[in-house]
Structure 1
Amino acid sequence: MTRYKTSVRYRAIFLSDMHLAARACRSEDLLSFLKSHDAAVIFLVGDVIDFWRLRRGPSWRASQTEVIQQFLAKAQAGTRLVYIPGNHDEELRILAGTTLGTLEVRLRAIHDTADGRRFLVVHGDEFDDVVNKARWLAVLGDIAYDVASAVNVGVNVVRRAMGMSYWSLSAWLKYRAKRIFNGSKFEGLLTAEARRVGATGVICGHIHHACVRIIDGVQYVNTGDWVDSGTAVVEHFDGRLEIVRWTDQLRAIESKPSKTPVAPVTS
């Protein structure tokens, strides 16, 4: 069984695109991440609950309820939670400006890192031409993505039998589609918006592709997702930002032979 570390603490954690309710949601991986990582502030950068998927029929799992419970437990323990709804949970934008204990709902936020940099934190869908100008295409693409996620299972059974590593068809299709319809415009619009509001960088989600890079002098940070990649962005206490590829770490641990089964360590 898998062993993972406990009580890894950061100054801030950024999570997006969990898509709770989606069939392909990696809620078990996310749950293990939440149990073993903490921070003074956690930003939920949109698409936490997938209302689009819920409208197509019930698909909620017990582990997804446990994820919600973990967030609430962290909030009750004093962790500041900043929830920035995305396009899949846009129904919650009506609550923007609401604060309940340490839980805040915002349309966007500004985060200052320990080394003095200022980041705009936003989901990013408002800078996506497909979502804003051809919503029907976005909904159709979401259904196709759901189907591709189901196909992933069969594809990777074959790949494992051939000794090959995991590969996500749905992630590849989504990223290629985003590049075709938006090109590099998405990143450019986000970095331009960060510059406009006086920030030195932007932290977003939406396109399910984790990365940290500089675009025209502005740091562009994407948190990735918890459907395909299982990634988060963390801020260390010196202000350094890093992508944590948690699902990859779990796969690496599980692939190592072990003489004695080790039970998961939970906090």
Structure 2
Amino acid sequence: MGSSSRTPRVRYRTVFVSDVHLGTRGSRCDFLTDFLRSCTCDTLYLVGDIVDGWRLKKSWHWDATHDELLRVIVGMARGGTDVVYIPGNHDEMFRSWLPMSLEIAGIRLCQDAVHTTADGRRLLVMHGDEFDSVVRYAKFLALLGDRAYDGALVVNRYFNIVRRRLGLPYRSLSAWLKRQVKGAVKAIDRFEIALAAEARRRGLDGVVCGHIHHAEMRDIGGILYINDGDWVESCTALVEHEDGRLELIDWAERNRVSFMQRRLAQPA
């Protein structure tokens, strides 16, 4: 799946990614490494839950693919990309270092940020867990939900092992299951409305967030709400083109398309 050195890299003005959850077996950091190697950008926003401190406290899982992703990100920072890291609830240990200005290996750590697009729109960039009532007011419930979610990701991993052996591309079973639960759909809607309201309160044009692992771009009462998704289930990122146009990139879907094209091109 790796990008060829002969393939020109796509140029973006800005890239936003979140919810990689390094330290978990469900992390598709190999997909993210492949995506970041396929493009260049002026600014890379890491919008929280890049490292899963909750999981690492319970058990240690860290392999070569995790190290490789970190090398790519640090390499981007040293190569001139402005890398901004906004901690989330799973990597909240980094929040204890804020609000002081801090830079590590060329990566700036911030509580949140305001990004101005090429066409002049001002967007609030934050992880978003501050507006998730379960995480904010009842952390023990979030931890219980985290355990159930881990179970779904285990099923997802074995589901995709079977698909790979059958010669089929990656699909997220856990993401599909979440979309079927009416309560989850309602919670997502409340979350999106709350984030849009915060951007409006700050006098901004929109908000970019992560946290709920649900990529979305929509207008909410004149405020642009964008969730850049995750790299556990959907493998999505938000990109800004040079003219300010914003686009959600579904990296897993793009690779499914190329996979099917290669299969169709093979002789019968």
Q: Distance in 2 between matches of 1:232 and 1:147?
A: 25
Which residue of structure 2 aligns with residue 204 of structure 1?
A: 209
Which residue of structure 2 aligns with residue 215 of structure 1?
A: 220
Q: Distance in 2 between matches of 1:29 and 1:163?
A: 18
Correspondence for 1:44 among 43, 46, 58: 46
Helix, strand or coil at the partner of 2:88: coil
Task: Note the aligned Cα RMSD (angstroms).
Answer: 2.4
Helix, strand or coil at the partner of 1:184: helix
Question: In the alignment, is residue 139 of structure 1 matched against residue 143 of structure 2?
Answer: yes
Question: In the alignment, is residue 107 of structure 1 matched against residue 114 of structure 2?
Answer: no
Could you tell me the TM-score, scaled by structure 2's length? 0.89
- One-letter code aligned to 1:13: V
For residues 108 and 239 of structure 1, do their structure 2 counterparts lie closer, same or farther at Cα, with a shift above 3 Å needed? same
Q: Distance in 2 between matches of 1:178 and 1:13?
A: 31
For residues 111 and 169 of structure 1, do their structure 2 counterparts lie closer, same or farther at Cα, with a shift above 3 Å needed? same
Helix, strand or coil at the partner of 2:42: strand
Q: Distance in 2 between matches of 1:242 and 1:225?
A: 15
**C-alpha deviation, 1:149, in angstroms:** 1.0
For residues 165 and 72 of structure 1, do their structure 2 counterparts lie closer, same or farther at Cα, with a shift above 3 Å needed? closer
For residues 134 and 84 of structure 1, do their structure 2 counterparts lie closer, same or farther at Cα, with a shift above 3 Å needed? same
For residues 101 and 190 of structure 1, do their structure 2 counterparts lie closer, same or farther at Cα, with a shift above 3 Å needed? same
Identity rate of aligned residues, in percent?
A: 47
Q: Which has the higher contact order (CA 8 A, sep 6+)?
A: 1
Superimposed CA distance per residue, residues 116-171 of structure 1 (whole angstroms, 9 cap, x where no aligned partner): 10000000000001101221111111111111111123434666899987543322
Helix, strand or coil at the partner of 1:21: coil
For residues 189 and 251 of structure 1, do their structure 2 counterparts lie closer, same or farther at Cα, with a shift above 3 Å needed? same
Superimposed CA distance per residue, residues 22-75 of structure 1 (whole angstroms, 9 cap, x where no aligned partner): 111101111111111121000000000011111121111111111011111111
Which residue of structure 1 aligns with residue 175 of structure 2?
A: 171
- For the 8 Å contact 2:169–2:256, the answer to whether it is kept is no
Helix, strand or coil at the partner of 1:110: strand
For residues 29 and 165 of structure 1, do their structure 2 counterparts lie closer, same or farther at Cα, with a shift above 3 Å needed? closer
Bigger mean CA deviation after superposition, 129-138 or 214-223: 129-138
- For the 8 Å contact 2:19–2:48, the answer to whether it is kept is yes
Which residue of structure 1 aligns with residue 255 of structure 2?
A: 250
Which residue of structure 2 aligns with residue 23 of structure 1?
A: 25
- For the 8 Å contact 1:2–1:253, the answer to whether it is kept is no
Which sections of structure 1, spanning at least 5 residues, go unmatched? 261-267
Aligned pair count reads 260
- For the 8 Å contact 2:208–2:226, the answer to whether it is kept is yes
Q: Distance in 1 between matches of 2:3 and 2:16?
A: 23
- For the 8 Å contact 1:23–1:146, the answer to whether it is kept is no
Correspondence for 2:197 among 178, 183, 192: 192
For residues 163 and 259 of structure 1, do their structure 2 counterparts lie closer, same or farther at Cα, with a shift above 3 Å needed? closer
Superimposed CA distance per residue, residues 91-120 of structure 1 (whole angstroms, 9 cap, x where no aligned partner): 001223213474211110000000010000
Which residue of structure 2 aligns with residue 225 of structure 1?
A: 230
Q: Distance in 1 between matches of 2:92 and 2:182?
A: 22
Q: Distance in 1 between matches of 2:115 and 2:186?
A: 30
For residues 178 and 163 of structure 1, do their structure 2 counterparts lie closer, same or farther at Cα, with a shift above 3 Å needed? farther
For residues 174 and 47 of structure 1, do their structure 2 counterparts lie closer, same or farther at Cα, with a shift above 3 Å needed? farther
Bigger mean CA deviation after superposition, 243-252 or 197-206: 243-252
Which sections of structure 2, spanning at least 5 residues, go unmatched? none
Which residue of structure 2 aligns with residue 237 of structure 1?
A: 242
Could you tell me the TM-score, scaled by structure 1's length? 0.89
- One-letter code aligned to 2:246: L
